[in-house]
C-alpha cells in the first residue's frame, strides 16, 4: 500500500511540475491578423506575445512580395515588453510578410512569420494609444541580397508609438487573431543535439550539487574534483550550444553582447563564474560548499521557465526546491553504487530510502502549488509534441516506482538488497528521465 501511495504522489508531482514548461514567448495575436485581406493599408504591424521578451535583442521586418523592406521607421517594444510594433510606409500594397525573431523571458530564441494582403494603397487612419517605451536602434545586415533590408535591433532608448489601426479584414471581423490560426512559430534551441547536451549538463549539475549535500551530512562521496571538472565541461558545452543557436538566429549580435547584455546571457555568465570559483573553494568548508550549491542552483532556477511567470519569486523558489531534491536522489543513487562495489552499501541504503520518501512528499507539495499557478490545459497532453514527451516521462516515473516496489519486496524477503541489477535498472530509468527533461525544458506546451 505504501508503494502505491508513493507512486501516485511522485507521478502527480512529476506531472504537475512538468506541466509548467509552456513558458516560451509564443505569438498570441497580431494586427493585422495573419492571413488577413485588407481594403486599406495599415500604418503599422503589432505582434502580441504570450510572455515578455528580452528588450535588448530582437528582430522584425516587413517585406513586400519582392522581398524589399517597407518599414518606415524603427520598431518599438511596449512598456510591458510583450508587444512589438513596426511602422509601415505609405506604399504598402499587395502581399506583406512580417518575419520576426525574439528571445523569450525564459531564454529561448523564437522565430516566426505572419503575412497579410493589402488590396489598395489607401492608408488607414492611425489611432493614438499608450506609449511604447522601449524603442530600438537599427543595425542593418548586409550578408546577402535577401537580407539587405532586414534589420537587427538593440534597445537603448524610449520612443512613443501607436496602437494598431482598424482595418477591414475580409476573413474575419477582428484584426487580432490567435497564433494558433496560421502563423508559424519555432523555438530555435529545441534540437535533438541540444536536448542531449542539456541532459548531460543537468546530470553533471545534479550529481555535483547532490554529492556536496550528502557530504554536508557527513557522507564522504568520492571523486568530487572529477565531478567539478565534468560539470564545468558540460556547462561550457551547454552554453556554447545555446549561444551558437542564438547567433544563428540573430546574425548581427556579437557573443559579447549576447553574454553581457541579454538576460539569458547574464545567467550563463553567472553560472560559469560560480562554477570556476567552485574549483578554488569547494572542499575547504562544508558551509562554503552549501553556499556554493545554493548559488549555482539559484542561477539555474533563474535560467528556466520559472522566471517567465507572473509570480517569478514563487516559481523560481519552487524550481530551486525541485532541483535540490532531484540532486539528492541522483547523487544518492550514485553513492549507493559506489558503496556497493566496496561492499558497504547496506549501511547507507536505509538513509537513502528515508530521504527518497521525504523528497516525494516535498515534490508533491511544491508541484501542487506550481500547478495551481501555472498548469496549462490538460488537452495539451494529447495535442502537442510537449504533451507526448510529458506522457513518456510520466510512464518512465511509474516504471521507477514499479521497480521500487520490487526492491522493497526483495529487501523485506532477504533482509537486505542482494541483487545489484535493481540498481542498474534504476540508473537506466533515471538517465531516461533526464533525457526526457532535456527535451521538455526546451519545448512549449503550444508546440
Question: What does pLDDT average to in each consecutive run of 10 residues of the chain (447 residues)?
Answer: 40 40 68 90 90 86 90 90 90 88 82 88 49 38 38 39 40 36 47 86 95 94 95 95 85 85 90 96 94 95 76 83 89 91 86 75 62 58 74 80 78 77 84 85 62
Residues 390-427 pLDDT 10s: 788 878 877 877 887 787 787 778 777 777 788 888 88
Same domain as 163, residue 230: no
- Do 288 and 162 belong to one domain? no
What 3-state DSSP class applies to 365? helix
Residues 34 and 18 occupy one common structural domain:
no
Do 43 and 89 belong to one domain?
yes
Number of domains composing the chain = 2
Across 305-320, b (16+ Cβ under 10 Å) vs e yields bbbbbeeeeebbbbbb
Give CA–CA dist 137/155, Å, rounded: 6
447 falls within a domain: no
Asked if 146 and 237 sit in the same domain, the reply is no
In a domain, 72, yes or no: yes
Q: How far apart are CA 49 and CA 158, in angstroms?
A: 20
- pLDDT at res. 201: 95
Give the span between the Cα atoms of 22 and 141, in whole angstroms: 32
- Cα separation values, 113 from 59, 101, 140, 246, Å: 11, 9, 19, 18
Residue 42 sits in a domain whose CATH number is: 2.60.40.1220
Same domain, 119 and 166: yes
For 68, half-sphere exposure in the C-beta direction (CA atoms, 13 angstrom radius) is 8
Residue 154 sits in the same domain as residue 15: no
The predicted structure's pLDDT at residue 116: 92
pLDDT given at position 195: 85
Q: Are residue 214 and residue 86 in the same domain, yes or no?
A: no
Same domain, 76 and 113: yes
pLDDT in tens, 364-397: 566 556 545 555 566 666 777 777 887 888 788 7
Beta bridge partners of 37: 117
pLDDT score at 130: 42
* pLDDT given for residue 388 in this prediction: 81
The answer to whether 212 and 292 are in contact (CB under 8 A) is yes
- pLDDT of 21 reads 41
Range of the domain at 310: 2-22+188-440
Residue 445 lies in a domain: no
Cβ-proximal residues to 280 (8 Å cutoff; 6+ apart), any chain = none
Asked if residue 136 belongs to a domain, the reply is: yes
Q: Are 34 and 140 in the same domain?
A: yes
In eight-state DSSP terms, residue 240 is H
Of 124, 153, 178, which closes a domain?
178
- Residue 163 lies inside a defined structural domain of this protein: yes
- Of 135, 155, 178, at which residue does a domain stop? 178
Determine, yes or no, domain membership for 446.
Answer: no
167 within 8 A of 39, measured Cβ to Cβ: yes
Q: Which of 149, 178, 207 corresponds to the end of one domain? A: 178
> How far apart are the C-alpha atoms of 404 and 391, rounded to whole Å?
20
Separation of alpha carbons 274 and 10, rounded Å: 32
Q: What is the CATH number of the domain that holds 16?
A: 1.20.1630
As given in the structure block, the three cell numbers for residue 413 are 524477503
According to DSSP, the residues that pair with 127 across neighbouring strands are 163
Q: For 181, phi and psi rounded to 5 degrees?
A: -75, -55
Cell numbers for 269, please give them: 555568465
> Helices marked H in 375-384 — which ranges?
380-383
Q: Please tell me the predicted confidence (pLDDT) of residue 253.
A: 82
Q: What is the pLDDT at residue 368?
A: 55
Whether residue 404 sits in one domain with residue 302: yes
In a domain, 183, yes or no: no
Number of other residues whose CB lies within 10 A of the CB of residue 321? 19
Q: What single string gives the DSSP state of each residue in 32-55?
A: SPTT-EESSB-SEEEEEESS-B-S
Dist CA 330 CA 204 (whole Å): 10
Same domain, residue pair 157 and 204: no
Residue 324 lies in a domain: yes
> So what's the pLDDT on residue 125?
54
Q: Is the pTM of this model over 0.85?
A: no
Amino acid at each position: 500500500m505504501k508503494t502505491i501511495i508513493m507512486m501516485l504522489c511522485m507521478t502527480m508531482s512529476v506531472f504537475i511540475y512538468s506541466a509548467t514548461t509552456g513558458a516560451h514567448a509564443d505569438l498570441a495575436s497580431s494586427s493585422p491578423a495573419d492571413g488577413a485581406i485588407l481594403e486599406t493599408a495599415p500604418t503599422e504591424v503589432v505582434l502580441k506575445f504570450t510572455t515578455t521578451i528580452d528588450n535588448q535583442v530582437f528582430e522584425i521586418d516587413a517585406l513586400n512580395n519582392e522581398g524589399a523592406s517597407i518599414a518606415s521607421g524603427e520598431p518599438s517594444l511596449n512598456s510591458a515588453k510583450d508587444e512589438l510594433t513596426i511602422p509601415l510606409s505609405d506604399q504598402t500594397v499587395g502581399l506583406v510578410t512580417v518575419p520576426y525573431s525574439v528571445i523569450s523571458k525564459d531564454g529561448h530564441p523564437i522565430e516566426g512569420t505572419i503575412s497579410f494582403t493589402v488590396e489598395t494603397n489607401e492608408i488607414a487612419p492611425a489611432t493614438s494609444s499608450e506609449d511604447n517605451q522601449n524603442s530600438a536602434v537599427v543595425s542593418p545586415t548586409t550578408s546577402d541580397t535577401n537580407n539587405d533590408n532586414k534589420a537587427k535591433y538593440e534597445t537603448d532608448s524610449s520612443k512613443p508609438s501607436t496602437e494598431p489601426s482598424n482595418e477591414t479584414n475580409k476573413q474575419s471581423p477582428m484584426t487580432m487573431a490567435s497564433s494558433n490560426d496560421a502563423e508559424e512559430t519555432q523555438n530555435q534551441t529545441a534540437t535533438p543535439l541540444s536536448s542531449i547536451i542539456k541532459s548531460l549538463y543537468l546530470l553533471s549539475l545534479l550529481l555535483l550539487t547532490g554529492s556536496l549535500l550528502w557530504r554536508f551530512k557527513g557522507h564522504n562521496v568520492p571523486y568530487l574534483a572529477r565531478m567539478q571538472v565534468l560539470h564545468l565541461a558540460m556547462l561550457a558545452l551547454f552554453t556554447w550550444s545555446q549561444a551558437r543557436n542564438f547567433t544563428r538566429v540573430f546574425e548581427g549580435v556579437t557573443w559579447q553582447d549576447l553574454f553581457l547584455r541579454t538576460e539569458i546571457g547574464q545567467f550563463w555568465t553567472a553560472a560559469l563564474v560560480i562554477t570556476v570559483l567552485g574549483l578554488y573553494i569547494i572542499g575547504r568548508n562544508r558551509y562554503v560548499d552549501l553556499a556554493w550549491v545554493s548559488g549555482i542552483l539559484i542561477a539555474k532556477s533563474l535560467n528556466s521557465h520559472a522566471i517567465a511567470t507572473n509570480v517569478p519569486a514563487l516559481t523560481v523558489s519552487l524550481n530551486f526546491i525541485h532541483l535540490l531534491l532531484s540532486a539528492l536522489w541522483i547523487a544518492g543513487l550514485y553513492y549507493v553504487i559506489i558503496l556497493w562495489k566496496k561492499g558497504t552499501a547496506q549501511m547507507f541504503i536505509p538513509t537513502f530510502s528515508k530521504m527518497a520518501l521525504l523528497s516525494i512528499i516535498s515534490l508533491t507539495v511544491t508541484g501542487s502549488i506550481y500547478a495551481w499557478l501555472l498548469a496549462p490545459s490538460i488537452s495539451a497532453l494529447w495535442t502537442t509534441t510537449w504533451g507526448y514527451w510529458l506522457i513518456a516521462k510520466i510512464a518512465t516515473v511509474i516504471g521507477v516506482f514499479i521497480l521500487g516496489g520490487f526492491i522493497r519486496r526483495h529487501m523485506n524477503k532477504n533482509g537486505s538488497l542482494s541483487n545489484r541489477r535493481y540498481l542498474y535498472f534504476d540508473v537506466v530509468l533515471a538517465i531516461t528521465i533526464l533525457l526526457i527533461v532535456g527535451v521538455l525544458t526546451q519545448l512549449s506546451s503550444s508546440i
